[in-house]
Amino acid sequence: MAQSVSATDTLKKDALYLALPGIHCGGCISAVERALLAEPGVNSARVNLTLKRATVEVAAGVEPPQLVDALARAGYEARELDSGALSATETDKRGRALLMRLAVAGFAMMNVMLLSVAVWSGATEATRDMFHWISGAIALPTIAFSAQPFFVNAWSALRVRRLNMDVPISLAIILAAGMSVYETSLGGEHAYFDAALSLTFFLLAGRYLDHRTRSVARSAAEELTALEVPRTLDEYGVAVAVADLSVGDRIRVLPGARLPVDGIIVSGNSELDRSLLTGESQPVAGGPDTAVSAGEVNLTGPLVVRVTAAGQDTSLRRMANLVAIAESGRNRYTSLADKAARIYAPLVHTLAFVAFVGWFWASGDARLSMNIAVAVLIITCPCALGLAVPAVATAASGRLFRAGLLVKNATAMERLAEVDTVVFDKTGTLTMGTPELENMGDHFDSDVAVARALADGSGHPLAVSLARAAGAAGIQPASVTEITEVPGQGVEGLLDGATVRLGRPGWVGAVPSEVTATYLKIGDNAPVAFTFCDALRPGARDTVTALSARGLDVVLLSGDVSGAVADVADRVGISAWEAQMLPEDKAARIAILSSAGRKVLMVGDGLNDTAALASAHASISPASALEAARVVSDIVLLGNSLEPVAQALSVAKSATRRIKENFAIAAMYNVVAIPLALAGFATPLFAALAMSASSISVSLNALRLGRK
- DSSP-assigned states of every residue in 265-304: EEE--EEEE-HHHH--SS-EEE-TT-EE-TT-EE-SS-EE
Which tops the pLDDT comparison, 584 or 138?
138
Rounded Cα gap, residues 619 and 596, in angstroms:
18
Rounded Cα gap, residues 337 and 409, in angstroms:
15
- Topology agreement, domain 229-313 and domain 405-431+537-650: no
Q: What is the mean pLDDT of the chain?
A: 78
Any bridge partners for residue 642, and if so which?
Answer: none
Beta pairing class for 239-241 and 231-234: antiparallel
Rounded Cα gap, residues 502 and 491, in angstroms:
5
* pLDDT reported for residue 340: 65
Closest of 414, 532, 420, 541 to residue 465, by C-alpha: 532
Please state the rounded mean pLDDT for residues 160-178. 77
Rounded Cα gap, residues 115 and 119, in angstroms:
7
* 534 is annotated as an active-site residue: no
pLDDT score of 423 more than 90? yes
Separation of first and last alpha carbons in the chain: 46
Per DSSP, helices labelled H in 404-478 are 412-416, 445-455, 461-472
Q: Do residues 478 and 450 make contact, with C-beta atoms less than 8 angstroms apart?
A: yes
pLDDT score of 7 more than 50? no
| Active-site entry in 262, 425, 534, 605 | 425
Given CA atoms 644, 646, 652, 653 in this order, what sign does their dihedral have? negative
* pLDDT reported for residue 410: 66
pLDDT score of 61 more than 50? yes
Q: Which residues contact 56 (CB under 8 A, 6 or more apart)?
A: 15, 16, 17, 18, 36, 42, 44, 45, 46, 67
Ranges 11-20, 587-596, 603-612: which has the least confidence: 11-20
Ranges 81-95, 96-110, 184-198, 449-463: which has the least confidence: 81-95
Rounded Cα gap, residues 14 and 63, in angstroms:
12
* pLDDT reported for residue 216: 43
Please state the rounded mean pLDDT for residues 482-497. 85
Rounded Cα gap, residues 508 and 504, in angstroms:
7
Rounded Cα gap, residues 342 and 340, in angstroms:
5
Beta pairing class for 421-424 and 600-603: parallel
Q: Taking the CA atoms of the chain, what radius of gyration do you get in angstroms?
A: 32
* pLDDT reported for residue 218: 41
Residues in the chain: 708
Which helix (H) or strand (E) covers residue 661, if one does?
helix 644-678
* pLDDT reported for residue 517: 84
Q: Is 130 exposed, middle or buried (0-12, 13-18, 19+ CB in 10 A)?
A: middle
Query: Does the 405-431+537-650 domain belong in CATH 1.10.3470.10?
Result: no
Model confidence band, residue 640 (pLDDT cutoffs 50, 70, 90): confident
Q: Do residues 490 and 475 make contact, with C-beta atoms less than 8 angstroms apart?
A: no
- Taking CA atoms, 163 is separated from 157, 168, 240, 346, in Å, by 6, 9, 54, 7
Model confidence band, residue 140 (pLDDT cutoffs 50, 70, 90): very high
Closest of 16, 23, 115, 6 to residue 57, by C-alpha: 16
Q: Do residues 198 and 689 make contact, with C-beta atoms less than 8 angstroms apart?
A: no
Query: What are 72-127's pLDDT values in tens digits?
Result: 888 777 777 655 545 433 445 777 888 899 899 989 988 888 887 766 666 677 88
- Report domain 229-313's class: mainly beta
Query: What are 237-264's pLDDT values in tens digits?
Result: 787 877 788 888 898 888 877 788 888 9
| Backbone φ, ψ for residue 24 (5° rounding) | -150, 0
Model confidence band, residue 555 (pLDDT cutoffs 50, 70, 90): very high
Homologous superfamily assigned to 433-535: Calcium-transporting ATPase, cytoplasmic domain N (3.40.1110.10)
Rounded Cα gap, residues 268 and 300, in angstroms:
10
Which tops the pLDDT comparison, 114 or 328?
114
Any bridge partners for residue 621, and if so which?
Answer: 636
Burial state string for 75-87 with b = 16 or more CB within 10 A and e = fewer than 16? ebebbbbbbebbe
Domain residue ranges of the chain, discontinuous segments joined by +: 15-91, 93-212+333-392+654-706, 229-313, 405-431+537-650, 433-535
CATH topology for 15-91? Alpha-Beta Plaits (3.30.70)
Instruction: Walk across the sheet containing 553-557 and list its strands.
Output: 405-407, 635-637, 618-622, 600-603, 421-424, 553-557, 576-578
How many angstroms from the chain centroid is the CA of residue 10? 21
